[in-house]
Amino acid sequence: MRKKNAILIIDAQYDFCNPAGSLYVNGAVEDMQRLSDFIVRNKEEIDHICVTLDFHPVNDISHPSFWQDENGNFPPPFTPITLAEVKAGKWKPRFYPQEAAQYLTELEAQGQFPHFIWTEHCLIGSKGASLDDTLLAALRTWTLDGKWYQAVTKGTNPLTEHFGIFMAQIPLPNAPETQLNQELIDSLASYENVYLAGEAKSHCVATSLRQAMEYAPHLASKMIVLEDCMSDVTGLGHLGKPIYEEAKKRGIRFAKSSEPIV
């Protein structure tokens, strides 16, 4: 089997990619069309496709129902929650209070992303967690020649955010699903080129790229960022921008989906 070109597609799911999804990323419809066209147009040159799937329980630490104020109200979506606010009693975890406080302590010390409450999204088994229809049609076309795409899940542990595919934001002891996925790293690194696409550019794609640079530089050096097949969460593009700037400094390649595959 030839091992030249792979694609790593981050969280191309209904809730992110469909305007009716609970956490729609503006621009994702067009991103998925361009990515799907890229796959179909280059199907003979693509040897492997890995799709990641964000899967969350309802009472996830990043969902409103994990938290309440002194009156029992859940925080509205897009509310940041800090350790200081928890200590002051502004917000209280409804579950696992010690673990939640430890998580916030480590997350804030890490200094990459603040803790943020999202709308409920990609609930395990829900329509919102399914692959985008346009992309799925392209994957089906690609597989008809006898290929199989790989699906890798993340986010199932409710006590840590899991933006990047290779590891949770804060890996938890005795929770292998939150720790570094060396098997996935080794699998992708076996290809000469690994195209990177998906949603959202500002969060899950950026964090996956950062994790590759930090924990698997040999893999990161093979990546080609399809910059027109991803979009930022509106107003939060600044969070991912330093990661892409660092990638360019390291010589990681960026390309448009309209360009010929290498």
Q: Indicate the domain borders of the chain.
A: 5-57+122-255, 64-110
pLDDT at position 236 is 83
Both tokens of 160, joined, read 């840590």
What is the chain's length?
A: 262
pLDDT band at 93 (very low <50, low <70, confident <90, very high): very high
Mean pLDDT of 99-120: 95
pLDDT at position 151 is 98
- Residue 253 class from Cβ within 10 Å (0-12 exposed, 13-18 middle, 19+ buried)? middle
Contact 66, 95 (CB under 8 A): yes
Residues 226 and 220: their CA atoms lie apart, in Å, by: 14
Task: Give the rounded percent of residues in the chain with a pLDDT score beyond 70.
Answer: 100
- Reduced to 3 states, what is the DSSP secondary structure of residue 14? helix
> What is the homologous superfamily of the domain 5-57+122-255 according to CATH?
Isochorismatase-like (3.40.50.850)
- Residue 116 class from Cβ within 10 Å (0-12 exposed, 13-18 middle, 19+ buried)? middle
pTM equals 0.95
pLDDT at position 48 is 98
H helix or E strand, kind and range, residue 142:
helix 133-143
pLDDT band at 262 (very low <50, low <70, confident <90, very high): confident
pLDDT at position 260 is 87
One DSSP character per residue, 149-211 reads: -EEEEE---TTS---SSSS-SS--TT-GGGS--HHHHHHHHTSSEEEEEES-IIIIIHHHHHH
